[in-house]
Structure 1
Amino acid sequence: MQIDSSLSALTALSPLDGRYAGQVHGLRPLLSEAGFMAHRVEVEIAWLIGLSELGLPEMPAFDASARARLKAVAEGFSQADAARIKAIERDTNHDVKAVEYWLKEQVADVPALAAAAEFIHFACTSEDINNASHALMLQRARTDCLLPAYGSILARLRDLAHQYADQPLLSRTHGQPATPTTMGKELANVVARLRQAVGVMAAVRPLAKLNGATGNYNAHLAACPDIDWPMFSAQVLQGLGLTQNPYTIQIEPHDWIAELFDAVARANTILLDLNRDLWGYISLGYFRQRLREGEVGSSTMPHKVNPIDFENSEGNLGLANAMLRHLSEKLPVSRWQRDLSDSTVLRNLGVALGYTLVACDACLRGLGKLELDAEAIDADIDACWEILAEPVQTVMRRHGLPHPYEQLKALTRGRGITREALQNFIASLDLPAEPKARLLALTPRSYIGLAARLAADI
């Protein structure tokens, strides 16, 4: 074997950095190590600027040019900057301290900033910077990547629900023929579920803290006892678009991250359920898949058109949820005032959300290939007159006929029934003319209740 160990799309251990790299590119600037560094720089600068506004005699307020320089450092953060921080880290063996030293390098040629250099990371513990960075990273990943991905699926499903609102569909409860619905209504069910789950995901409020080594502002108060540090910290976080968690140990306890990831996992579970149902409908012939020129379904069976997109989505959702649920269970647990077991786990945020995006992309691709085969669907439902046993016995109940359920059970259970036999039975019933006429006019395709309306209303 002549494959070397240099990193490329073909040698990456994770398919997120190899085969699926193009599907997760939006996460890379946010959740990679370089992205983490960029967010740390943003938080450090926000804290520094905030300190400059406190009126400390040792730290005059920054003028416009100094502020502009700090803004340029944050907004212009590049991969080369990340590489420099990584080089500093080789000496410090501490990633946040490396960011601090790099920032001091960046402002050394600006007198006002150089004079304030020791206020970079002032009174902060590393976790102050890290937790606020993680909050920003996840908030932006949710806004820029997750919600648009799920929004695209919701939009496509809603279009299909409307398109197929009137298409009768034989339901299958326990895998057996059951009361009909419409294909549009079944897709509308998923829209309603997914919309609710995505709403919960979107509503989770990111929390953060800037309160020192064990959450009590000890060093802050020792250095500057006259400042209302909780209020100041809340203001800095608010400026970053985050909400302060006032009660923490050294780490922000990550309960909100667990809440977010539980919400993502719940949405993923709904999507997984959809994938399996659509896989089944394709297997029954209810949907065909648009062919792509040059695509092969099997290395030996030329006729195959496999539902690979829904299978791909299902598999990646499983990987995503395994990680999301581990993160949501692990992150809120820390020994005493802090242990470091969360740190290495948090470096996998991009992996958990990356598999989610790959799954969403595959599902959307599959939805785009679907073509309904109305003839196949109609043939199935037309062969199941026994499903009309339900409305017949229900009408019989209303009008007081004896043993309606038992009569229909004896007539249909486990054996089916023909249209002629069912209509002969209805004709023999002692029913008023109007309900009898309605039952005689009923067909499996017309027995869909409010399904079409519900689908059209979604």
Structure 2
Amino acid sequence: MAVSFHSGVVMAEKDQEKQSYRSPLVARYASKDMVYNFSDAKKFSTWRKLWLILAKSQKKVGLNITDVQLKEMEENIDNIDFKMAAEEEKKRRHDVMAHVYTFAQCCPAAAPIIHLGATSCYVGDNTDLIVLRDAFDIILPKLARCIQRLSQFARNYKDLPTLGFTHYQPAQLTTVGKRACLWLSDLCMDLRNISRARSDMRFRGVKGTTGTQASFLALFDGNAEKVEELDRLVTSLAGFDEAYIVTGQTYSRKVDVDIIGALASLGASVHKICTDIRLLANLKELEEPFEKDQVGSSAMPYKRNPMRSERCCSLARHLMTLCMNPLQTLSVQWFERTLDDSANRRICLAEGFLAADSLLSILQNIFEGLVVYPKVIERHILQELPFMASENIIMAMVKAGGNRQECHEHIRTLSQEAAAVVKQEGGDNDLVERIKRTDYFNPVRDQLDQLLHPKSFVGRAPDQVVQFIEKEVSPALRPYSEVLEGKAELSV
């Protein structure tokens, strides 16, 4: 009998949420703080706070609004009847008016002055800006913690030589700490870009239906100074230093481009870092944390898959794709505004921050538990170093009176023989032993061990690590010095 995948069974009331789709960003990955930040409770309570500060500011500037009305509004900020609001929106086809009505039902005295002179974007756009600002304030400390953990790792391994790779082929040696500084450099740029996007944000304020403030000018009998004072008061009470001087009905959607662009750029950084970790895990040189009871594969019990790094790459890929959405929205905002920016922004802006938040939690967890295998790294170095050291040996021979061209030919011939052993026989690189057995190299035989020491090939890498952390990383972390503690806990 075929199994039916279309069940009509209705679950118990307590299991109702299991019958509804929930974004995996909410259900599996993002922090509780970020999930709440984009919740209906935060959104609609913020609408009510904005109506309250509008009324407070209007009273201060001279409108006939009573303390009783303000107190009534303040006492009902979180007293939201979501069922009533949903029913009203279905009837009115207008979310803001549905919530104006719902708020008025529990604030009968204040009902006449709720939303006075405002357009829907007064609560809609200003709430978005508050939520986006608060989202930045959640992820910036997380990013700082990732940078701080990785900088500790870089310091710890600043002197450990490792093969560098160009084109994913063995290249001149670097150090494990120096490679970590390449990752750090990108993350520090992300910290700068995201901080800049945060500090560049302003408030929309009270601008009216097309941004001209005409309705507020009418409220104050043509007194422009009172309108400007109202805008300043509302902006300040909302926690912003400045408001945009000019807007259409909405704040410019270019703000969203800057915000999601900074987050998408972070996604690219994380994807690159975690791809490097995955490649190093394959080489068994470095691993992300792997817990005692963790299962790497349902079929292959021996496997230690880099699933955290893979998850980061997966989420980062989604985050990077989001940057096209605000770009296209900005490009088609005709004149003072169109409403084709509404549904997609509800998805894109929230998912951008939820994804970034998820990435940073996982990344911090990875950085706190990175495991390095120096012996494996050393073995890989010894397989390649003799080839890389050939130029040093040639120079030493020339200093001892040899001929550069003759020496080059001897080493070329021996290198080809050693390479054949490695590639065709699967043996170890025996170039050094071949050089030692060749009489031609007798003048430098006693120098070979020194010439082949890995630390002779890392250049200024250890010094660069220290210099970079002291001059760039530490100053960037200084504003976050009080929020760097705490381990990252993953739900899955």
Matched, 1:302 2:311: no
Matched, 1:447 2:457: yes
Counterpart Cα distance in 1 of 2:236 and 2:453: 62
Matched, 1:197 2:190: yes
Q: Is the 8 A contact 1:34 1:82 kept in 2?
A: no
Q: 1:335 to 1:289 in 2, by over 3 A?
A: closer
Matched, 1:212 2:208: yes
Q: Counterpart of 2:167 in structure 1: which amino acid?
A: H
Equivalent residue, structure 1, for 2:244: 245
Matched, 1:99 2:99: yes
Equivalent residue, structure 1, for 2:21: 12
Equivalent residue, structure 1, for 2:33: 26
Query: What is the CA-CA distance between 1:238 and the residue it aligns to?
Result: 2.8
Q: Which moved more, 1:3-12 or 1:174-183?
A: 3-12
Q: Which moved more, 1:89-98 or 1:306-315?
A: 89-98
Counterpart Cα distance in 1 of 2:291 and 2:219: 68
Query: What is the CA-CA distance between 1:103 and the residue it aligns to?
Result: 2.8
Counterpart Cα distance in 1 of 2:180 and 2:100: 52
Counterpart Cα distance in 2 of 1:156 and 1:249: 44
Query: What is the CA-CA distance between 1:249 and the residue it aligns to?
Result: 1.6
Partner of 2:341, secondary structure, is helix
Equivalent residue, structure 2, for 1:133: 127
Counterpart Cα distance in 2 of 1:397 and 1:363: 50
Q: 1:422 to 1:252 in 2, by over 3 A?
A: farther
Matched, 1:330 2:337: no
Counterpart Cα distance in 1 of 2:162 and 2:378: 7
Q: Counterpart of 2:318 in structure 1: which amino acid?
A: L
Counterpart Cα distance in 2 of 1:106 and 1:135: 27
Partner of 2:170, secondary structure, is strand
Q: 1:164 to 1:248 in 2, by over 3 A?
A: same
Counterpart Cα distance in 2 of 1:405 and 1:217: 83
- For residues 53-91 of structure 1, the C-alpha deviation after alignment (integer angstroms, 9 at most, x for no partner) is 1123xx15x44x6545444433xx15x544443333233
Q: 1:4 to 1:212 in 2, by over 3 A?
A: farther
Equivalent residue, structure 2, for 1:222: 218
Matched, 1:120 2:123: no
1:48-67 aligned at under 5 Å gives the runs: 48-56=55-63, 59-60=64-65, 62-63=66-67, 67=70
Partner of 2:454, secondary structure, is coil
Counterpart Cα distance in 1 of 2:40 and 2:398: 68
Q: 1:227 to 1:5 in 2, by over 3 A?
A: farther
Partner of 2:165, secondary structure, is strand
Q: Is the 8 A contact 1:168 1:448 kept in 2?
A: yes
Equivalent residue, structure 1, for 2:42: 35
1:271-350 aligned at under 5 Å gives the runs: 271-288=270-287, 290-331=289-330, 333-348=332-347, 349-350=349-350
Q: 1:408 to 1:456 in 2, by over 3 A?
A: farther
Equivalent residue, structure 2, for 1:367: 367
- For residues 122-142 of structure 1, the C-alpha deviation after alignment (integer angstroms, 9 at most, x for no partner) is 222111221111000000011
Query: What is the CA-CA distance between 1:47 and the residue it aligns to?
Result: 1.2
Matched, 1:73 2:69: no
Query: What is the CA-CA distance between 1:282 and the residue it aligns to?
Result: 0.5
Query: What is the CA-CA distance between 1:354 and the residue it aligns to?
Result: 1.6
- TM-score normalised to the size of structure 2? 0.78
Equivalent residue, structure 1, for 2:232: 234
Query: What is the CA-CA distance between 1:245 and the residue it aligns to?
Result: 1.3
Partner of 1:169, secondary structure, is strand
Counterpart Cα distance in 2 of 1:314 and 1:327: 22
Q: Counterpart of 1:212 in structure 2: which amino acid?
A: G
Q: Counterpart of 1:189 in structure 2: which amino acid?
A: L
Q: 1:289 to 1:185 in 2, by over 3 A?
A: same
Query: What is the CA-CA distance between 1:317 and the residue it aligns to?
Result: 1.0
Query: What is the CA-CA distance between 1:155 and the residue it aligns to?
Result: 2.3
Q: Is the 8 A contact 2:34 2:354 kept in 1?
A: yes
Counterpart Cα distance in 1 of 2:412 and 2:304: 42
Partner of 2:33, secondary structure, is coil
Query: What is the CA-CA distance between 1:16 and the residue it aligns to?
Result: 2.6
Q: 1:83 to 1:247 in 2, by over 3 A?
A: same
Counterpart Cα distance in 1 of 2:389 and 2:19: 57
Q: Is the 8 A contact 1:165 1:182 kept in 2?
A: yes
In structure 1, list runs of 5 or more residues that go unmatched.
none
Counterpart Cα distance in 2 of 1:90 and 1:397: 88
Matched, 1:387 2:388: yes
Equivalent residue, structure 1, for 2:254: 255
In structure 2, list runs of 5 or more residues that go unmatched.
420-428, 470-492
Paired positions, count: 437
Counterpart Cα distance in 2 of 1:174 and 1:452: 23
Counterpart Cα distance in 1 of 2:356 and 2:321: 11
Matched, 1:419 2:413: no
Q: Identity of paired residues, percent? A: 20
Counterpart Cα distance in 1 of 2:395 and 2:127: 61
Partner of 1:181, secondary structure, is strand
- For residues 288-343 of structure 1, the C-alpha deviation after alignment (integer angstroms, 9 at most, x for no partner) is 45543433222221211111110011101111221244234424641222211111
Q: 1:396 to 1:155 in 2, by over 3 A?
A: farther
Counterpart Cα distance in 2 of 1:219 and 1:309: 53
Q: 1:211 to 1:409 in 2, by over 3 A?
A: farther
Query: What is the CA-CA distance between 1:10 and the residue it aligns to?
Result: 6.9
Q: Counterpart of 2:375 in structure 1: which amino acid?
A: E
Q: Is the 8 A contact 1:268 1:356 kept in 2?
A: yes
- For residues 104-130 of structure 1, the C-alpha deviation after alignment (integer angstroms, 9 at most, x for no partner) is 233325xxxx3xx43321222111221
Counterpart Cα distance in 1 of 2:363 and 2:9: 34
Q: Counterpart of 2:431 in structure 1: which amino acid?
A: T
Q: 1:312 to 1:444 in 2, by over 3 A?
A: same
Q: 1:40 to 1:437 in 2, by over 3 A?
A: same
Counterpart Cα distance in 1 of 2:125 and 2:406: 65
In structure 2, which of residues 46, 49, 53 is the aligned counterpart of residue 46 of structure 1? 53
Q: Is the 8 A contact 1:396 1:404 kept in 2?
A: no
Q: Counterpart of 1:337 in structure 2: which amino acid?
A: E
Q: Is the 8 A contact 1:275 1:310 kept in 2?
A: yes
